[in-house]
Amino acid sequence: MLRGLLGRPLERKNVAKLVLASSSVYRRSLLERLALPFDVASPTIDETALPEETPEQLVARLAKAKARVVADARPGAIVIGSDQVAISQADILGKPGDRNRAIAQLKRLSGRKVRFLTSLCVLSPDLPPLVEIETSTVRFRHLTTQEINTYVDRERPFDCAGSFKSEGLGIALFESIDGDDPNALVGLPLIRLCRMLRIVGLDPLSLREPRPTP
C-alpha cells in the first residue's frame, strides 16, 4: 500500500496516475525499472534557447514545460518531464540528426571532456513543481576515424545529444565518467527521480509486489 506525505496509507485506486512526458524509448525503458504503472505522452514544445539563457536554465525550463503541457491535458496526474543537453567548450551540442553530423560531432569530441546536464521535473496536483538537474562529465578517448565510423554505422545515434548511447556500444568511446547516477546519461536520473517521487507520495519500494507496466 502506498503512503502519502504524512505517512497515511493511500488506496491504490486513489493514487494519481503517473505519466512520463517524453517520446524517448530510453527514458521509458529506465522508468520501467521502478515497476510503477505509468502512461507515456509526447509533449510538443518549442525547444529553442532563449537569449542569454544558460544551459542549466534551458534544461530546467524545458523539463518543466514538457511536464506542464502533459499535466494540463491530464488533470490529477503526476507528470515526469526531462531534458538533456551536452556542453563542450561552452557550446551546447544538439542531436546530430544524421550520419554526417554524428561523425563530425564525435570527431570534435575526441579526447575532450563533455558535460551533460539532465533535468527532471515532477508535477503533482498538490505540490509546487519539483525541478532538479543532474550533472555528468564524460571524457572521450582519442578516437580514430575508423572507430567513429564503425560506431556510428553500428548504433546510428542520430537522436542522442553527443552522438552516443551510453547504454550500448557508446561506452567504448569513453575514457571515464564522473557523475552520481549513470542513468542520467541515458536520459533519466533514477536516484533523484526516486527521491522526488517519494516526496509526492509514490515510493516504488512501498509496493508489496511488482506491477506490470503498460
Q: Catalytic residues, which ones?
A: 83
Length of the chain, please? 214
CA-nearest of 162, 197, 166 to 182 is: 166
Q: How many CB atoms lie within 10 A of CB 25?
A: 11
Q: How many CB atoms lie within 10 A of CB 13?
A: 5
Long-range contacts of 47-54 (CB under 8 A, 24+ apart): 47/83, 49/92
170 to each of 17, 23, 151, how far by Cα in Å?
Answer: 34, 21, 7
- Cα separation, 156 vs 138, in Å, equals 20
